Structure 1
Amino acid sequence: MNTVIIDGNGLTLDQLVAVAKQGYKVVLHEGAQKRVEKSRKIVERIVKNDEVVYGITTGFGKFSDVVITQNDCKTLQKNLILSHACGYGKSFPTEVVRAIMLLRANALSKGYSGITLNALNTLIEMINKGVHPIIPEKGSLGASGDLAPLAHMVLPMIGEGEAEYKGEILNGKDAMDRAGIPLVELTAKEGLALINGTQVMTAVGALAVDEAIQLLKLADVSSALTMEALRGIKDAFYPEVHSIRPHKGQMTTAENMLNLVEGSNLVTNQGELRVQDAYTLRCIPQVHGASKDAINYVLERVLIEMNSATDNPVITENGNVISGGNFHGQPMALSFDFLGIAAAELGNISERRIERLINYQLNDLPAFLVKKGGLNSGFMITQYAAAALVSENKVLAHPASVDSIPSSANQEDHVSMGTIAARKSRDIIENVKRVIATEIMAACQAIDFRENVKLGIGTSAAYRVVRENLSFIEEDRIMYKDLDKCTELLSNRTLINEVEKVVKIKY
């Protein structure tokens, strides 16, 4: 049985992807159970002794000075969920919802939240039985955490809202009943414990990082194919060039390029055909490498956040209940803005390589990579479409984190907009994937115009996958269908998996 054990500390990106996309089950670690029970006893003591503690015996936000009686604690927590569930827009896809639920469960399992073990187990059971709350994408400021979307996550737990179960969207109670999961009656602090955190932005961003890592590899493959198609100069990738400017991503990219084209008779040496290449070929290590370094930085931040307690208040190991700011999404907001910018640059340089492939003034290939040009347009408009995507990315890459709008009557007077940053980075990555698919198609088309071709060990694997699924474009045909097929080869990782059977691509 494929399972992931959570304890709040060791969750990896691969495990997150396994639960989100592959349906892995979730098991709560025994040690985590004990920590959860310990922190819950502290909450129960506070309520019993009528202590005034934010979010347990008080209202929320600007209502933090309103004391709540023991009799009203359950009503307070339920009202919190009902009032905060005000998201808007299309709902997150199932894989994102599962990632959100997993991350919230993992954060709660650290034992700093004061939730009951029953409520936590209910959330885990929903993951395992496939009850997926309908969560709108929009409505989070990224502080105090992802309140609105996480409230939508909780609604089915209390028999409200909507959830998808076995492919059908049901009201929350029906979904829980069909799955055989008892509803939860939220008690002191539990509503707040379930929604006060950064798990929505982190889930969206973490899955985007996973896609971005694949994009880094694909960008090296596509550029290596283009290098061969344009008979590029490999000297620019030699280690002695990069050891004197030893940025890790730059050195890694140069190594990848040499490995991918190893054995090729198309790549050239300096001075063989020309003295130097244009920047989009010669500077691949510097440009791709900078994006590698940026995305690896974001990966480090994401792994920290995935295993953090982002509640307010937090119940510390020594029993203190402290109101802090761990819910604030700024560390993720800046990271995901950076992620989007790094991905956008991969698209920018790829689109310029597409131009070099199809523009007969810049190469020795047929115009727009087609026979009988004029009668046929070939790859002419594919560059238009790619240019539109990279231009859109320039708009999307504007940082969300530089904006802040005060909320809760100025009690919460600086927010992160981190969830917007995560969603934007995800959209940028999808656009770039299409651009890279276009470059791969164009490069393979260009290679087919060469004679006596011997491709590199890595590029030959990529070329073979493309040609097994897409034929040479002899004359004009409906282009989006081919582009869709090529994009799917990238999305389902067929192409990169085949390449990595012969060349390990580093990132």
Structure 2
Amino acid sequence: MSQHFSYGEDYLTAGMAIKIAQGEIKGIISEATRNKIQKNRQVVDNIVEKGQPVYGINTGFGPLCTTKITKEETKILQSNILQSHSVGVGEPIDRQIAKLMMILKIQSLAKGHSGIAVKTIERILWHIENDAIPIVPCQGSVGASGDLAPLSHLFLPLIGLGKVIYQQKTITTKELFKHTGLTPVDLGPKEGLALINGTQFIAAHAVQVLSKLHNCLSHADIIGAMMIEGLQGSVKPFYKELHQLRPFKGNIHTATRVKSLLKGSEIMEDHIDCDRVQDPYSLRCIPQVHGASRNAWLHLKELLEIELNSVTDNPIIIDENLTISGGSFHGQPLAMALDYACLAASEIGNISDRRIYLALEGNSPGVPKLLMEDTGINSGYMILQYTTAALASENKGLCFPSSADSIPTSLGQEDHVSMGSIGGRKALRVLENVEKILAIELLTATQAFEFRKPLKSGKILDEIHKYVRTVVPFADKDRVFADDIEKGIEMIKDNTIIHITDKISKREKLSLETQYSNEFEVY
């Protein structure tokens, strides 16, 4: 690990956050940032000394904002807020998301406007570097006033409470302290509030959504191209001349990639003069549908990167003379974008299911009904589409926008909330379903390929077909297809298909790059 990321100074992207979480890059606090944090901390100490009322420093929280807290009680207040706000329920979130939450929180705190102490940030860094990841329940945040409940659970270990996953075991923080020699952090005024007031639960989910949706979009283009070959669709809908007349970035990017994947295909050449005028929408409109979802992805990326490099707690300590109690903790900017991304993901699964159905109809010359010659005694691939139909339908139900709802909290003080935390969790559920749908399309496209032999595909798709056949054999009769599906899902999740695509394109010098490639990457 040679590369460092300087919190509070360097520009954080989703890709960079994932690399830090995976241990590929080390996050550090530079001396300049350390000094900036300490200077801002001193402002808070001065406020306490002077006794001037500032929300969250020497007042209560939420509807208790008019309740003054004495100088002696300010520290107790910070410990109490972590405990009282730890009200999460449900299953623990994925440990990768919890780790991302800590990374994103440090980036925000290191901007030097939160009144945090350096020693507190250093303890969070210790948790990241030693992979001691707090247990955080998935439910309980309404996505405004910060992700209060999940962030409270995330930072309970700082004061010796809560549980962590450490060395592959779930243990109490007391056990962690006994094992490592650590002691509780003595939180000063404002620190507890700075820790739990922010959008890091929403943003960490958005990082995962951005990564997973990117992978699903990449797979969808590749598998969609395979299905075009298997069903001998037309390449003309992917011509640049068409998309220059309606130049959406996502459409152009998708069309260029698919056309490149089809280049050099004997299968496509074989029916160049056929009588079919145009294909069904699920083949012909891949640039428009996949492209629209890519545009949604790009929108989420743009907003997320702003959020990752922002200060999202409250109040904000600008300088000695200016402290602002505002609403930068409100999750609405990401909440709406996550709902949009959720719909975009669902549509990728929806059109994939339609292509699977199309492959089973038997209307493409040479491809038998249900993708099997001997049907009747065999059902072929019929029931696999039942599964994709169920998954696609489930996703449609999950697409109701969480951000359309708001239930007042905090005795009406917090009377509009974003529900972005729910939107983030929901989007990840949809993406998991899309991965399963794409896995089934991969199996059906590969099966359709078989009936084009001895014609060969383009070099990339031909190599993918060969690889899939080393994992899932051709089906000439019924078998337990659930086993095949599980292998397909594994290929999607570990990005095998994308790795093969990248390897062959480099080896054969087959460029899949477009004018928008850099924009459509997770860096």
Which bracket does the TM-score occupy, shorter chain normalised?
A: over 0.9
> What does residue 467 of structure 1 align with?
469
> What does residue 32 of structure 1 align with?
33
- Number of corresponding residues: 507
> What does residue 113 of structure 1 align with?
114
> What does residue 356 of structure 2 align with?
354
**One-letter code aligned to 2:248:** H
What displacement does 1:22 show? 4.6
What displacement does 1:249 show? 0.8
Determine if contact 1:259/1:457 at 8 Å carries over to the other structure. no
Please list, as runs of the form range in 1=range in 2, the aligned pairs for 1:155-194 lying within 5 A after superposition: 155-194=156-195
Determine if contact 2:366/2:451 at 8 Å carries over to the other structure. no
Q: Partners in 2 of 1:134 and 1:12 — Cα distance?
A: 25
Q: Partners in 1 of 2:177 and 2:18 — Cα distance?
A: 24
Q: Deviations over 1:383-402 (max 9, x none)?
A: 00001111010011110000
Q: Deviations over 1:3-50 (max 9, x none)?
A: 542323511222111123456432123322121111100000011111
> What does residue 508 of structure 2 align with?
none
Q: 2:293 aligned with 1:295, yes or no?
A: no
What displacement does 1:270 show? 6.4
Q: Deviations over 1:461-493 (max 9, x none)?
A: 322331222211232222122111111111111
Report which stretch shifted further, 319-328 or 361-370: 361-370
TM-score w.r.t. length of structure 1? 0.97
**One-letter code aligned to 2:189:** A
> What does residue 379 of structure 2 align with?
377
What displacement does 1:372 show? 1.7
What displacement does 1:332 show? 0.5
What displacement does 1:317 show? 4.5
Q: 2:62 aligned with 1:61, yes or no?
A: yes
Determine if contact 1:204/1:422 at 8 Å carries over to the other structure. yes
> What does residue 134 of structure 1 align with?
135
Q: Partners in 1 of 2:58 and 2:235 — Cα distance?
A: 68
What displacement does 1:2 show? 5.2
> What does residue 238 of structure 1 align with?
239
Q: 2:49 aligned with 1:48, yes or no?
A: yes
Residues 1:21 and 1:475: Cα distance change in structure 2 (over 3 Å): farther
**One-letter code aligned to 2:38:** E
**One-letter code aligned to 2:240:** P
> What does residue 253 of structure 1 align with?
254
**One-letter code aligned to 2:485:** L
SS at 2:257's partner residue? Answer: helix
**One-letter code aligned to 1:5:** F
Q: Partners in 1 of 2:162 and 2:24 — Cα distance?
A: 23
Q: Deviations over 1:351-392 (max 9, x none)?
A: 000001112256642221123212222211110000111101
Q: Partners in 2 of 1:188 and 1:317 — Cα distance?
A: 16
Residues 1:249 and 1:325: Cα distance change in structure 2 (over 3 Å): same
What displacement does 1:434 show? 0.9
Residues 1:405 and 1:362: Cα distance change in structure 2 (over 3 Å): farther
Q: 2:466 aligned with 1:458, yes or no?
A: no
Q: Partners in 1 of 2:459 and 2:399 — Cα distance?
A: 35
> What does residue 226 of structure 1 align with?
227
> What does residue 197 of structure 2 align with?
196
Report which stretch shifted further, 313-322 or 20-29: 20-29
Residues 1:145 and 1:15: Cα distance change in structure 2 (over 3 Å): same
Residues 1:499 and 1:180: Cα distance change in structure 2 (over 3 Å): farther
Q: 2:506 aligned with 1:504, yes or no?
A: no
Q: Partners in 2 of 1:412 and 1:405 — Cα distance?
A: 9
Q: Partners in 1 of 2:363 and 2:267 — Cα distance?
A: 20
Q: Partners in 2 of 1:3 and 1:99 — Cα distance?
A: 18
What displacement does 1:459 show? 1.4
> What does residue 75 of structure 2 align with?
74
Q: Partners in 2 of 1:343 and 1:42 — Cα distance?
A: 45
> What does residue 11 of structure 1 align with?
12
**One-letter code aligned to 1:170:** I
Q: Identity of paired residues, percent?
A: 40
Structure 1 portions without partners, runs of 5+: none
Q: Partners in 2 of 1:223 and 1:102 — Cα distance?
A: 36
SS at 1:65's partner residue? Answer: coil
Q: Partners in 2 of 1:494 and 1:23 — Cα distance?
A: 20
Q: Partners in 2 of 1:290 and 1:13 — Cα distance?
A: 21
Q: Partners in 1 of 2:383 and 2:4 — Cα distance?
A: 46
Determine if contact 2:405/2:418 at 8 Å carries over to the other structure. yes
Give the aligned CA root-mean-square deviation in angstroms.
1.5
Report which stretch shifted further, 131-140 or 373-382: 373-382
SS at 2:170's partner residue? Answer: strand
Report which stretch shifted further, 359-368 or 250-259: 359-368
Report which stretch shifted further, 316-325 or 283-292: 316-325
Determine if contact 2:55/2:65 at 8 Å carries over to the other structure. yes
**One-letter code aligned to 2:119:** N
TM-score w.r.t. length of structure 2? 0.94
Q: Partners in 2 of 1:38 and 1:131 — Cα distance?
A: 29
> What does residue 411 of structure 1 align with?
413
